Amino acid sequence: MAHRRAKLTVAGRELVVRRIVEGGWPTVRVAEAMGISRATAYKWLARFRTEGQPGLEDRSSRPRRSPRRLSADLVNRILAARRQQHWGPHRLAPALRVPRSTIYAVLRRHQCARLRDFDPPTGAPIRYVMERPGQLIHVDVKKLGRIPPGGGHRLLGREIGRRNNPKGLRLGTDFVHVAVDDATRLAFVRVYRDERGVTASHFLQAAAQFFGRHGMPMQQVMTDCARSFRASRCFQEALRQVGARHLLTRPYRPRTNGKAERFIQTMIHEWAYTCLYPTNDLRLAALPRWVHFYNSRRTHTALGGRAPLTVVNNVCGNYS
């Protein structure tokens, strides 16, 4: 594979060979004209005569043999110590008698470089993606303080924020209910004035209609252990009506519902606090537009650079 400082691309190599074979140029003159050494020119000429056109293509720089490569047993020891002790390369290096750089390379290669990717009690990597749209819907609620007229302290600072609300009135809270499909990341959002069980049931029914319009009937719904989800008869009745099974996260394990948590963080940074909203109504009015952008145009690394709506009908990648 060509490195970033290589002077010859595939087209450049073809030009070298063409000038020597067809044009009859001396190899020395071709090397001078192309800014390369004579040895490089002779190398590509020899490859062309031996292999033809395929000999001019890029090749992997990986060596055929790596006699000093780490053994599989040592790699497993490094990964096991990482899972059990939660130590970084600086502490693992003296314990395992392996250079820190080597340990870091192993952790990065096996996607274990960040502790947040592990479940603290078990040390098992937390990574799962459902195969079908609608198979698992993550539901959560985010509380957002309402913005006083003129803007709040989050963007203006405490001093100006107090001026916009001189009496220190409690303006209340908006409860942003979110539902995110595990397989496609398609999101549905509604804002309510509370998070009671009745409200949660209304949101669930509205979410079921939204996902149903996209051909994604709910099969399972994951929530945390809040009373509005766990103990509400209204919410349980709504689950029965939409035909979904209820899954609860373990106590104090928000990462189990990580896709909803990640969506909320994205929503906060790209909608709620991305710019100065003079009033709370203007911020709420901007939410549907941002959700539409998120579903239809915003690309996702986990989806291979695609938007959720482009994956809904092609979740298995069968169509181009």
Domain membership flag for residue 198? yes
DSSP 205-238: HHHHHHHHHTT----EEEE-S-HHHHT-HHHHHH
- Quick one: what percent of the chain has pLDDT higher than 90? 52
Average pLDDT across the chain, whole number: 86
CA–CA distance, 221 with 215 (Å, rounded to integer): 16
Domain that holds residue 77: 72-112
Are 155 and 275 in the same domain? yes
Q: Give the burial string for 219-254 (b: 16+ CB within 10 Å, else e).
A: bbbbbbebebbeebebbeebbeebebeeeebeeeee
Task: Please state the domain count of the chain.
Answer: 3
Residue 318 placed within a domain = no
Report how far residue 284's alpha carbon sits from residue 302's, in angstroms, rounded to the nearest whole number: 28
Q: From the CB of residue 25, how many other CB atoms can be counted at a distance below 10 Å?
A: 16
pTM as predicted: 0.60
Does 142 lie in the same domain as 169? yes
Residues 242, 295 within the same domain: yes
Lowest-confidence region among 136-140, 171-175, 259-263: 171-175
For 28, 42, 50, the CA distances from 47, given in Å and listed in that order, are 17, 9, 5
Q: How many CB atoms lie within 10 A of CB 94?
A: 9
Indicate if 37 and 150 belong to the same structural domain. no
Is residue 125 included in any domain, yes or no? no
Under 8 Å between Cβ of 270 and 290: yes
Same domain, 242 and 179: yes
Residue 80 shares a structural domain with residue 212: no
Q: Please report which confidence band the pLDDT of residue 170 belongs to, taking 50, 70 and 90 as the band edges.
A: low
Condensed to tens digits (0 to 9), the pLDDT of residues 84-109 reads 888 888 888 888 999 999 999 999 88
Same domain, 157 and 93: no
